[in-house]
Amino acid sequence: MHLKSNFKNINIIIALDFFDENKAMKFIYNLNPTIYALKIGNIMFTLFGVRFIKILQKLGFKIFLDLKFYDIPNTIFGAIQAVANLNIWMVSIHISGGIQMLKSARLALKPFKNKPLLMGVTILTSLDKTDMSKLGIQISLSKYILSLAKIAHKCNLDGIICSGTEISNIKKHINVKNFKILTPGIRLNGCSSNDQKNVTTPMLAKQYNVDYIIIGRIVTSSQNPLKTLELIRSQI
């Protein structure tokens, strides 16, 4: 049985993107919930739903529900309240959904004592300048991400999700003392970036002083996941 979790020390979030629940549990049983939190995204939530989340919570894990909510304010209000009722630790929401949507998400959490961390998605790490230009966004990626970060801060979100390369620019313009930064796209030197176009090494994440990093395929696809995790931890 796992020891009681001390979540003040967690800064590594492991992304679970398994299609097979048994394979996922075999992997999870080797993890210590006092060290790692778990990210449930669209794949596993669609396949296994709330029941699976409750199983992980009973094992002592904090859950980051990464569904990247994006909808009209009224729908977001209800969705975020539903998330809070699940005792979720952290939830993601697209900043580009607009100020009213973000304010609605924050307002939805007002009645709750144990509020999930509300984290704003800037842009997906699979996108680059060319992709954004095709979407009609002509300013630089850095300016666009900074603009989104400022909106998230203004709307009292708990933090943002962004590439490590953008953090120094954000910290120049925003007081991040109580504003969390979560960085996905973590890769060890020499590892494939897969479909990620904005990747960061664990060492760089440490230099950027991020609050949380998301580790996914480099661990879950590793022949020796625990050894890979220890290597990552040694670098942060």
Is 196 annotated among the ligand-binding residues? yes
Buried b (16+ CB within 10 A) or exposed e, 195-205: ebbbbbbbebb
**164 is an annotated ligand-binding site residue:** no
Whether 197 is catalytic? no
Asked if residue 62 belongs to a known ligand binding site, the reply is: no
- Residue 217 counted as an annotated binding residue: yes
- Cα–Cα distance measured from residue 51 to residue 39, given in angstroms and rounded to the nearest whole number: 15
Can you give the C-alpha Rg of the chain in angstroms? 17
Give CA separation, 53 vs 11, 25, 153, 220, 223, in Å: 20, 12, 29, 18, 26
User: Using CA atoms, how far apart are residues 214 and 185, in angstroms rounded to an integer?
Assistant: 7
Q: Which residues of 176-189 are buried (b: 16+ CB within 10 A; e: fewer)?
A: beebbbbbbbbbbe
Q: Does residue 68 have a known ligand-binding role?
A: yes
- 211 labeled part of a ligand binding site: no
Residue 26 assigned as binding residue: no
Q: Per the annotation, does 125 bind a ligand? A: yes
Give alpha helix (H) positions in 86-162: 99-108, 129-134, 141-154
228 marked ligand binding residue: no
Residue 67 known to bind ligand: yes
Q: Tell me if 187 is assigned to a ligand binding site.
A: yes
Catalytic residue among 8, 26, 68, 154: 68
Q: Does 17 belong to an annotated binding site? A: yes
231 marked as part of a ligand binding site: no
Q: Is 72 helix (H, G, I), strand (E, B) or coil?
A: coil
| Inter-residue contact 27 to 216 (CB < 8 Å) | no
Which uninterrupted H or E stretch holds 84?
helix 73-85
* 3-state class (DSSP) for residue 148: helix
Provide the annotated binding site for substrate.
Answer: 17, 39, 66-75, 125, 187, 196, 216-217
Q: Give me the active site residues, please.
A: 68
Provide the annotated binding site.
Answer: 17, 39, 66-75, 125, 187, 196, 216-217
